[in-house]
Chains A and B, each alone.
Chain A
Amino acid sequence: MSIRVFVPRDTTALALQADAVTLAITAEAARRSIDLTVVRNGSRGAFWLEPLVEVEAGGSRRAFGPVSPADVPRLFNNGFPGDCQDVLALGPADEIPWLQRQQRLTFARAGLGDPLSIENYLSLGGFAGLENALALSPQAIVDAVKESGLRGRGGAAFPTGIKWQTVLDTAAVQKYIVCNADEGDSGTFADRLLMEADPYQLIEGMTIAAVAVGASEGFIYLRSEYPEAKKILLAAISRAEKAGWLGDNIQGLGKKFHLELRIGAGAYICGEETSLLDSLEGKRGLVRFKPPLPAIKGLLGQPTVINNVLSYAAATTVLAKGAAYYRDFGTGRSRGTLTVQLAGNIRRGGLVELPFGHTLRELVEEFGGGTASGRPMRAIQVGGPLGTYLPAAQWDVALDYEAFAGISGMLGHGGIVVFDDTVDLAQQARFAMEFCAIESCGKCTPCRVGSVRGVEVIDRIINNQQRAENLQLLQDLCDTMVDGSLCAMGGLTPYPVRSALQHFADDFEK
């Protein structure tokens, strides 16, 4: 039998020449008459090791990485794909400490096989959650999600089960399931990795939600900046339909659910759920007033479950293994696992899934290994462009929702962006306002005008014009934005600004 060699096909691996590595491996194997088959798997999320090439041998997978096309002839000279002594040899993939120390529930399958193979998905426990759900009453499904303690993974951390209950309880002829896959926060890629490495898990989770609340139509709203995820999701939806996991009669049990992929058009604000719904309806992505909640009046005015990719994914674990199993991970009111994304200036960046409760410092030092540049870490931004900049004194905070709220921060979608000591926090604060000005939907004045004024005021502070007055003005402006904005875009933009001012005041006095 031909030896199987795995080369990932996710965005980061491709951006690091995984296609060229694949070509080099097949060419070298042909030249040496070695019989091997290359499988394009998803990534395990150890992006610092990409392209991470694996060889299947004797029940385990030996890993090599990061492999560049130029390394391939040498690997073969050193015995690849057989016993291979090489500087890039990492031993069995699942014994790489960075991966082994994680506790993967949602990302347990990521990188193990061809993301589009339904057989592979089934063999790794896929669709078990949906099969269980199909045998339960809608209320029993919703109860399981409630009991699991699952909170929305998009950033707002609203209890998922309560959202589903509201939709279940609202009578309507048509209900919708919408997935918010508009993962626009810099420093986050967990949704992308899940969609590219394990797309059927999202399809399964959305279908569970559909069965739970009685919805027959669903949409995945994917950002246009993710072209690989688009290709993979389109193919996955089509294959799931053919295999009877989507469509008019799911697995012959009489349930109907149609799923459609929609592509955004480069607007960060569409990650806000009501703006996303307007965009889906073919309008400008303006934020809606709440109430009414989308669970009562959502897409086209109908009851709509709208959740993040990882929330739907987590629901598959809850239904497959039980609410108690999921709830037993985590701490306090933060149950289950948290997917942290280590990004920016970090030596070992990638996706880390762990139960809630580890400290930020453990993550960036033990997993992250410090900065990529080798210089000292100076600031960490957690929670995307609307998240606070944390100085070293705050890095011992535990990664859970309440602990972060306690330091005026937010975990958001779990993005952690590390900066070394060359960072200028005054410029970062200015960028926070600039980004808000570019991406504001324009509906409310504090956000639309406040962000433009924010850039101007910060420029005056940096240029030492009437410093004391302008610092006061900036604080007042931040108050107005926090208290007066319609959504989190304007309401949270002051957080990075204020944290920069508070903890890195020197940067504003150069």
Chain B
Amino acid sequence: MQSSAFSLAETIEAVVQEHIGRVGPLMPVLHAVQERLGYVPSAAIPMIASALSLSRAEVHGVMHFYHDFRTEPAGDHVIQVCRAEACQAMGARALETHVRGKLGINFGETTADGRFTLDPVYCLGNCACAPTVRIDDDIHARVTPQRFDQLLDGLPGEGR
């Protein structure tokens, strides 16, 4: 994670240089910043705005329109539980309740030990083998509450 303003400025500069020649560079820039830092710090917004000749309001507006961009760092592992219809048909509502209880948090929250962030997702395209859960970049099919607990136990890291 970046800590000083100087290194943040360097990061933004490098990312902007990489994407500035593209059509509509703002989204690729935001994705790249989040990929490097894990989130888009509020201090980055005026820097990105200035580098792309946009207003801070425009950058802020785009940041907050899309569900993917984070304003705070996520936990060590990001867990997405699909809430959409095909998963509902296979017990996603019960799974969602189980996951929230197990982690002790609601959607959009991070556990106190910083280990897990829980997010909703609306379809991961695995609708024939539902319910579906994504943990970091891995997608898991036919996830029962028991299977979810196994997946959780298999994750590395002890929290912080």
At the interface with chain A, which of B4-12, B71-79, B116-124? B116-124
Contacts of B67 in A (CB 8 A): 265-267
Report the minimal beta-carbon distance from A360 to chain B, rounded to whole angstroms.
16
Q: Does B155 contact A (CB under 8 A)?
A: no
A262 to B31, CA, bound (A): 10
The residue in B67, B123, B138, B142 that gathers the most chain A C-beta atoms within 10 A of its C-beta is B123
Contact of B30 among A183, A184, A265, A341 (CB under 8 A): A265
Task: With A265-B69, A266-B66, A267-B67 as known contacts, state yes or no: A344 contacts B125, CB within 8 Å.
Answer: no
A418 to B128, CA, bound (A): 10
- B126 and A12: CB pair below 8 A? yes
- A186 and B122: CB pair below 8 A? yes
Considering the complex, which residues of chain B in the window 120-147 have a beta carbon less than 8 Å from any beta carbon of chain A? 121-130, 132, 134, 137-142
Give per-residue flags for A298-312: 1 if the beta carbon is below 8 A from chain B beta carbons, else 0: 011000000000000
Q: Does B25 contact A (CB under 8 A)?
A: yes
Q: Does A115 contact B (CB under 8 A)?
A: no
A185 to B22, CA, bound (A): 29
Contacts of A227 in B (CB 8 A): 137, 139
A418 to B123, CA, bound (A): 15
Considering the complex, which residues of chain A in the window 404-431 have a beta carbon less than 8 Å from any beta carbon of chain B? 415, 417-420, 423, 427-428, 431
Contact of B27 among A15, A262, A343 (CB under 8 A): A262
Task: With A225-B121, A266-B68, A417-B86 as known contacts, state yes or no: A15 contacts B132, CB within 8 Å.
Answer: yes
Q: Does B33 contact A (CB under 8 A)?
A: no
Report the minimal beta-carbon distance from A280 to chain B, rounded to whole angstroms.
5
Task: With A372-B90, A428-B85 as known contacts, state yes or no: A225 contacts B125, CB within 8 Å.
Answer: yes
Size of the chain A interface, CB-CB below 8 angstroms: 64
A50 to B85, CA, bound (A): 22
Q: Does B101 contact A (CB under 8 A)?
A: no
Give per-residue flags for A432-460: 1 if the beta carbon is below 8 A from chain B beta carbons, else 0: 00010011010000000000000000000
Report the minimal beta-carbon distance from A178 to chain B, rounded to whole angstroms.
11
Report the minimal beta-carbon distance from A224 to chain B, rounded to whole angstroms.
6
Q: Chain B interface secondary structure, helix, strand, loop or mixed? A: loop
- A345 and B90: CB pair below 8 A? yes
Q: Does B23 contact A (CB under 8 A)?
A: yes
- A183 and B125: CB pair below 8 A? yes
- B23 and A300: CB pair below 8 A? yes
- B128 and A343: CB pair below 8 A? yes
Size of the chain B interface, CB-CB below 8 angstroms: 45
Contacts of A186 in B (CB 8 A): 82, 84-87, 122-123, 127
Contact of B122 among A189, A268, A279 (CB under 8 A): A268
At the interface with chain B, which of A94-102, A106-114, A281-289? A281-289
Q: Chain A interface secondary structure, helix, strand, loop or mixed? A: mixed
- A15 and B127: CB pair below 8 A? no
- Nearest CB in chain B to that of A190: its residue: B125
Q: Does A55 contact B (CB under 8 A)?
A: no
Task: With A185-B123, A284-B62 as known contacts, state yes or no: A265 contacts B25, CB within 8 Å.
Answer: no
Q: Does B45 contact A (CB under 8 A)?
A: no
Contact of B85 among A11, A341, A344 (CB under 8 A): A344
- B137 and A263: CB pair below 8 A? no
- B23 and A299: CB pair below 8 A? yes
A219 to B22, CA, bound (A): 11
- Nearest CB in chain B to that of A48: its residue: B128
Q: Give A residues with C-beta under 8 Å from B.
A: 11-12, 14-16, 47-48, 50, 183-189, 192, 217, 219, 224-228, 260, 262-268, 279-285, 299-300, 341-346, 349-350, 372, 381, 385, 415, 417-420, 423, 427-428, 431, 435, 438-439, 441
Given A15-B129, A263-B28, 6 further pairs, Cβ under 8 A? A11-B124, A189-B128, A225-B134, A266-B66, A344-B89, A441-B65
* 7 closest cross-chain pairs (CB), A and B: A349-B128, A186-B84, A282-B24, A265-B66, A282-B26, A344-B89, A343-B127
**Could you list 17 A-B pairs, sorted by A, with CB under 8 Å?**
A12-B128, A14-B138, A48-B129, A185-B123, A186-B86, A186-B127, A187-B127, A192-B125, A225-B124, A265-B66, A265-B67, A281-B23, A282-B26, A283-B24, A342-B128, A344-B130, A431-B85
